[in-house]
Amino acid sequence: MRLRGLYLLTLLLVALPFIFPDNYYVTVVGVTAAVHAILAMSLNLLMGYAGQISLGHAAFFGMGAYASALLTTRWDWPPLLAMLFGLIFTAVVAYLISRPILRLKGHYLAMATLGFGIIVNIILVQAGEYTGGPDGLSDIPVLALFGWEIDSDLRWYGVMMAAVLLVLWLNLNLIHSRMGRALRALHTSEFAAETMGINTTATKSTIFVTSAVIAAAAGSLFAHQQSFVSPGSFSFFFSIELVTMVVLGGLASTYGAIFGAIVITFLPELLVVFEDYEVMIFGAILMLTMIFLPQGIYVVVEQRLLRWWQKCWLQSGESGGAT
Amino acid sequence: MSESALLHIDNITTSYGPIEALHKVSLQVEEGELVAIVGANGAGKSTLLRTLSALIPPKSGTIHFAGEAITALPPHQIVKRGICQVPEGRELFRPLTVEDNLLLGSYALKGDEQWVTERLAAIYTLFPILYERRRQAAGTLSGGQQQMLAIGRALLGRPRLLLLDEPSMGLSPLLVEEIFRVITTLNREGVTILLVEQNARMALTVANRGYVLETGRVVATASAHELLQDDAVRRAYLGY
């Protein structure tokens, strides 16, 4: 019941490459959308559910990507080992900064995470000896899973979509667990959460690390898929884009985060026809959405559909009773 | 009053910056008792409960619970030991459902699913309205229902000591009676309760013993019955 959406999405994702074989929007833009969806879901855990804003999420994405890129190109580590190292490294860094940073609230937390994101980006640019500086690192080897090389668009489509479904499954389970309830509780009132016996510091720290590690995993996959990384992909602007995805879909809605990621990825592709006005129209769409649907597009549509459905259900029930 | 009391507060002083809210307060609660702390606004009643739940650290003094010093423990450790608070103003998780609110009360009891399920059923029997509204957001409940939810939530924490902070606040006289009926029932079923109230008459009517708090000091303590008869207490808090 809880996982119904997950099953539907699985069907859809499996069907798409059959319905549209060799379609650029499915296997190329779709894969980018998948990376964005994973990132948006991870950020939504922190922002949507726990209520802790982060303007530096791209940094964790970058840490995962650069760990894979560096270790596989410079030191010839096997890709999976490099990925694992990247995740552990990101977890340690996220844990170390979470304690001081999550004491802050609201704008101050936003500022601190923003600063962290910028620092990481500066390191990527400045440590050119290792990271290749602004030019980045190229020729990242192909990722192979048990001898199966992921070397085509279609294979990447399969791997990324599997990753999306896995993260979605993790999210849905987490949200409905004891931990998920604790997150929503501390979002509402930290004081009340403490009187319930929730260790708010530890809970916030746990979700911050979880969120960062998921982002790093996305980064590692992204590095192998692109076979090239540069600091531009992990900048402050990308952090803001991720926040936009989460807010656009609707805070505290996992499917909303996926929806936001899809919109933000595909909209620019569709707006290409407007050429020079593309960015302006993109901005206008975002503004209008936030003015008229501040709860997020996905959340509002879901509520309306649910209400409509219930109405139909009631009416059919009444007419059934009358006859 | 012995050293073996369930709760033993000894010379607690708590301050907000330079302002002392509690001054050398000592107090005991025995297992199974219903003890009331009465006093005017700003007497330090809520501060005392917050200090007990470790939401504010005391400046000096010690707190013992079931023979263990708990003065330096963080809030979640206090809850784990069975001191559950119904905070002033209820502090519900308003956007969350009634059932989620109740289940959050059992957060500290990880693992004991069966006890939680049974207890949840018991709470729904005690407050049938909560069962009817279990899928509704807690913020949509009326004041009385919210107070019942707050009490139910604390009961799901398997309290050895239940702290109630102004349960009558903002409720109509009829609902106040209802809430106090529930408090008496709970106590009869064996829950030890420390009750803080401005409504001194109500509190002392249901309590075994009482403490009178005035500007952060305990100025009187006796059986609830004696306090109700005491001239000074009557003039100051009961208004006759």
Is the Cβ pair A184, B92 closer than 8 Å? no
| DSSP string of chain B, one letter each residue | --TT-SEEEEEEEEEETTEEEEEEEEEEE-TT-EEEEE--TTSSHHHHHHHHTTSS--SEEEEEETTEE-TT--HHHHHHTTEEEE-TT----TTSBHHHHHHHHTTTSTT-HHHHHHHHHHHHHH-HHHHHTTTSBGGGS-HHHHHHHHHHHHHTT--SEEEEE-TTTT--HHHHHHHHHHHHHHHHTT-EEEEEES-HHHHHHH-SEEEEEETTEEEEEEEHHHHHH-HHHIIIII--
Percent pLDDT > 70 in chain B is 98
- Mean pLDDT (whole number) for A289-294: 84
The count of other CB atoms within 10 Å of the CB of residue B68 is 9
Can you read off the two tokens belonging to residue A309? Answer: 């459905």
Nearest to B79 among A178, A189, A197 (CB): A197
Instruction: Using pLDDT thresholds of 50, 70 and 90, give the confidence band for residue A321.
Output: very low
Nearest to A184 among B92, B93, B157 (CB): B93
Is the Cβ pair A197, B93 closer than 8 Å? no
Which residue on chain A is closest to B154 by alpha carbon?
Answer: A196
For residue A297, the one-letter residue type is I
List chain A domain ranges: 4-292
Question: What's the CATH number for A4-292?
Answer: 1.10.3470
Is the Cβ pair B104, A199 closer than 8 Å? no
- Mean pLDDT (whole number) for A193-208: 92
Helix (H) or strand (E) holding A169: helix A153-175
Nearest to B67 by CA among B56, B54, B82: B82
pLDDT of residue A320: 47
**Three-class SS of B81-150:** CCEEEECCCCCCCCCCEHHHHHHHHCCCCCCCHHHHHHHHHHHHHHCHHHHHCCCCEHHHCCHHHHHHHH
Q: A106-114 long-range contacts, Cβ below 8 Å, gap at least 24?
A: A106/A53, A109/A52, A109/A53, A109/A54, A110/A53, A110/A54, A110/A55, A113/A53, A113/A54, A113/A55, A113/A56, A113/A57, A114/A55, A114/A56, A114/A236, A114/A239
For residue A229, the one-letter residue type is V
Nearest to A197 among B94, B103, B107 (CB): B107
Interhelix angle B113-126/B143-155, rounded to 10 degrees, is 150
In angstroms, the CA A88 to CA A94 distance is: 10
Q: Residue A229 in 3-state DSSP?
A: strand
A207 burial via Cβ count (<10 Å: 0-12, 13-18, 19+): buried
Interface mutation target, options B53, B91, B101, B149, chain A, most CBs of A under 10 Å = B91
Is the Cβ pair A197, B87 closer than 8 Å? no
**Cα pseudo-dihedral A212, A216, A222, A223, rounded to 10:** 140
In angstroms, the CA A23 to CA A315 distance is: 43
What are A's interface residues with B at a Cβ cutoff of 8 A?
178, 181-182, 184-185, 188-189, 191-199
Q: Fold for domain B7-238? A: Rossmann fold (3.40.50)
- What is the DSSP-derived secondary structure letter of residue A176? T
CB neighbour list of residue B62: distance below 8 Å, 6 or more residues apart = B9, B10, B11, B12, B69, B71
- What is the DSSP-derived secondary structure letter of residue A145? E
pTM score: 0.87
Q: In chain B, what residues touch A194 (CB-CB under 8 Å)?
A: 53, 55, 75-76
- Mean pLDDT (whole number) for A144-162: 86
**Chain segment A214-236, per-residue pLDDT in tens:** 999 999 999 999 989 999 999 98
Q: In this model, does residue A202 exceed pLDDT 70?
A: yes
Nearest to B155 by CA among B210, B217, B82: B82
**Chain segment A253-277, per-residue pLDDT in tens:** 899 999 999 998 998 888 888 878 8
In angstroms, the CA B190 to CA B211 distance is: 21
Can you read off the two tokens belonging to residue A103? Answer: 């004491």
Rounded to a whole number of angstroms, the distance from the CA of A105 to the nearest CA of chain B is 18
Q: In chain A, what residues touch B78 (CB-CB under 8 Å)?
A: 197
Cβ A72 vs Cβ A128: under 8 Å:
no
Which residue on chain A is closest to B158 by alpha carbon?
Answer: A196
Beta bridge partners of B16: B19
Whose tokens are 């896995």? That residue is: A166
For residue A38, the one-letter residue type is I
Nearest to A191 among B91, B107, B153 (CB): B91
Q: Residue A138 in 3-state DSSP?
A: strand
CA A136 to chain centre: 23
Q: Which stretches of chain B score pLDDT less than 70?
A: 1-3, 111, 239-240
- Mean pLDDT (whole number) for A294-315: 84
Q: In chain B, what residues touch A188 (CB-CB under 8 Å)?
A: 93-96
B53–chain A Cβ distance below 8 A for any pair: yes
Nearest to B96 among A184, A195, A197 (CB): A184
In angstroms, the CA B92 to CA B7 distance is: 26
| A-contacting residues in B 96-125 (Cβ below 8 Å) | 96, 100, 103-105, 107-108, 110
| Averaged pLDDT score across all residues of chain A | 89
- Taking chain A, what is the end-to-end CA distance rounded to the nearest angstrom? 32
Rounded to a whole number of angstroms, the distance from the CA of B18 to the nearest CA of chain A is 23
B152–chain A Cβ distance below 8 A for any pair: no
pLDDT of residue A319: 55
Is the Cβ pair B103, A188 closer than 8 Å? no
The upper half-sphere exposure of residue A57, i.e. CA atoms within 13 Å in the direction of its Cβ, equals 32
Is the Cβ pair A192, B92 closer than 8 Å? yes
In angstroms, the CA A150 to CA A154 distance is: 9
Q: In this model, does residue A92 exceed pLDDT 60?
A: yes
Is the Cβ pair B93, A189 closer than 8 Å? yes
Nearest to B76 among A184, A189, A199 (CB): A199
For residue B171, the one-letter residue type is L
- What is the DSSP-derived secondary structure letter of residue A205? H
Nearest to B107 among A182, A188, A189 (CB): A182
